[in-house]
Amino acid sequence: MRDLIDRLPGGSVITDPDLLYGYRQDWARDPGAGNPLAVVRASGTADVAATLRWANQHRIAVVPRGAGSGLSGGATAVDGGIVLSTERMRAITVDPITRTAVVQPGLLNAEVKRAVAEHGLWYPPDPSSFEICSIGGNAATNAGGLCCVKYGVTADYVLGMEVVLADGTVVRLGGPRLKDSAGLSLTKLFVGSEGTLGVITELTLRLLPAQPPQSTVVASFATLTDATTAILAITGTLRPSMLEFMDAVAINAVEDEMRMGLDREAAGLLVARSDAPGEFARREAEIMVAVCQREGATEVFHTEDPEEGAAFTAARRFAIPAVEKLGTLLLEDVGVPLPRLGDLITGVAAIAERNDVIVSVIAHAGDGNTHPLIVHDPTDAAMTERAHAAFGEIMDLAIALGGTITGEHGVGRLKKAWLPDQLGPDVMALTRRIKDALDPHSILNPGSIL
Ligand SMILES: Cc1cc2nc3c(=O)[nH]c(=O)nc-3n(C[C@H](O)[C@H](O)[C@H](O)COP(=O)(O)OP(=O)(O)OC[C@H]3O[C@@H](n4cnc5c(N)ncnc54)[C@H](O)[C@@H]3O)c2cc1C
C-alpha cells in the first residue's frame, strides 16, 4: 500500500475506515459489499494508470466509481480491493464548430448539460439521476433516460474516449470526428462495459443544437391495458421527445410528496412531450391528446407552458425516491420489444400478487423499458424472500417476452445470475474471452457482469 501512496499525489489515497465506508456501496445498497483496502481519488489519467499498474502487479481488485448512483451494484466495493474514484476529474472543453465536448469522467451529467448550454448546445442523454450521476458512470453503464425515445442513449453520443487498461496502458479510441470507420468499433465496446474492461478517463461527446421548446401532455387511464394501448398508439403515430409511464403506486407516492394534483384514482399516468419545430410541437401534442382520448383516457391535460411541462417531468423523475419512502426497493430495469409492453406490465402485476409484495411500475414507456420497483422491509425475512422471488420472476418474464434484464442500468452484481439466460452460452463464452483478453488477472470490477 505504501508504494501506491508514494506513486500518487499527496491526499489521493483514503484509508480511514470511516471515510471508506461511504464508498462501499452504490444506490443499489448491496448488503454483500466488501471492505476496501483504500479509495484512490484520481486527479488525472496518470493517477489512474499508476493505480492500475500497481494493482495489476499485486493482483488487487479495482472497482471504478463515478458518483455511486448506480442501481445494479456495479460500484460495490470488494474485500481488500481499491475503489478508484473519478470524482476529482472534472475538466470540460466545448468545441462549438464540431459540436463536441471533451470531458473528464467525474463531471456530473447535469454539469455537462449546463457547460454545453452556455454555447447554445445540448447533450441529450438525461437519466432521471442527471444531477447526481457522473458522465463517466453514464458511459460505463450506457445510461438512458427520458429523452432516449427520440434521441437515443449515451452510446449514440460517445465519439471517442481515453481509457486505461487493466495493466495501466493508456489508449485513445475514436475522437472528435463525426465519421470514422477505421478499425474495430472499440469505443462502443467500452461503452456499457461497467468498469470491467478499463477505466474511462476522458470522453469526446457529440452535441446537438439546443432543444426546441416542448409541448406536454399528461393523461390518466383507469386500466393498465388502456394505458399501454395508448403508448403503442402514440409510438405508432409519431416520435415523441418523451413518453413516460407511472402506475397507481408511483402516482400516489409522488403525489404524497409533491402535491401537484395527479389523479390518485388512475391505474396509470402518461407524461408525453413533443419538441417538434415551431407550431408542430403543439400539433403533435394535439395528436397525442386525441390518441389518449380514443384509447379511453379518463383525464387528459395539455400545456404549452414550459414550467408546467417541466414540473410533470420532475414529478416523473422523482418517482424512484418517492416510492422509496414506502420501503426498501429492489429495482428492476427490464425492457421488451414495444408490442410486448402490455404483457410485461400486466405480467409484473400478476407476479406482485402471487408473491404478495408491492411492485410499483414506472417506465420509459416509449422505449419499452420499465422499472418495476419491488418494495419490501428487509427486517421481515419472509417478505424479503418473496421480494427476491419476484425480482427473479420479473427478469424471467422479460426474457420470455424476448426482452432484456436491463435496458439502461447495467447488469452489475444484482442481475448477473440472469445474464446467461438472456445471452445464451455462446455469447457468454465470447464475453468471457473478451474479458480475459483485456484483463487477464481479472482485477477490474471482479464479480460484476461475469
Ligand atoms: C433516483 C435514480 C434515478 C435513476 N434514473 C436513471 C435513468 O433514468 N436512466 C439511467 O440510465 N440510469 C438511471 N439511474 C442509475 C444511475 O444513475 C446510472 O446508472 C448512472 O449512469 C451511474 O453513474 P454514476 O456516476 O453514479 O456511476 P457509479 O454508480 O459510480 O458506477 C456505475 C458503474 O460504472 C462503472 N464506472 C463508473 N465510472 C467509470 C469510469 N470512469 N470508467 C469505467 N467504469 C466506470 C462502475 O464500476 C459501475 O460498474 C438512476 C439512479 C437513481 C438513484
For 325, residues 6+ apart whose C-beta sits below 8 A from its C-beta are 253, 256, 257
207 alpha carbon – ligand 1 mean position (Å): 20
- Across residues 157-176, what is the average pLDDT? 98
366 touches 274 (CB < 8 A): no
Mean pLDDT of the chain: 97
In order of their start, the domains of the chain are 2-85 (3.30.43.10), 92-209 (3.30.465.10), 215-320 (3.30.70.2190), 327-410 (3.30.70.2740)
Q: Any idea which residue has 430495469 for its cell?
A: 333
Q: Whose CA is nearest to atom 37 of ligand 1?
A: 137
Question: What does the pLDDT look like over 271-296, one tens digit per residue?
Answer: 999 999 999 999 999 999 999 999 99
For the Cβ of 344 lying below 6 angstroms from any atom of ligand 1, the answer is no
In 10 A of CB 12, how many CB atoms? 20
Distance CA(364)–CA(8), nearest Å, equals 42
> On the CB side of 30, how many CA atoms lie within 13 Å of its CA?
25
Question: In ligand 1, which atom is closest to the CA atom of 108?
Answer: 25
Question: What does the pLDDT look like over 322-381, one tens digit per residue?
Answer: 999 999 999 999 999 999 999 999 999 999 999 999 999 999 999 999 999 999 999 999
Angle, vertex CA 379, rays to CA 373 and CA 383, nearest 5? 55
pLDDT of residue 235: 98
Distance CA(129)–CA(127), nearest Å, equals 5
Which residue among 65, 83, 147, 408 is best mutated to probe the pocket of ligand 1, counting the most ligand atoms within 8 A of its Cβ? 65
106 alpha carbon – ligand 1 mean position (Å): 11
Question: In ligand 1, which atom is closest to the CA atom of 408?
Answer: 11
* 131 pLDDT above the threshold of 90: yes
Question: What does the pLDDT look like over 94-126, one tens digit per residue?
Answer: 999 999 999 999 999 999 999 999 999 999 999
pTM: 0.97
Distance CA(430)–CA(303), nearest Å, equals 50
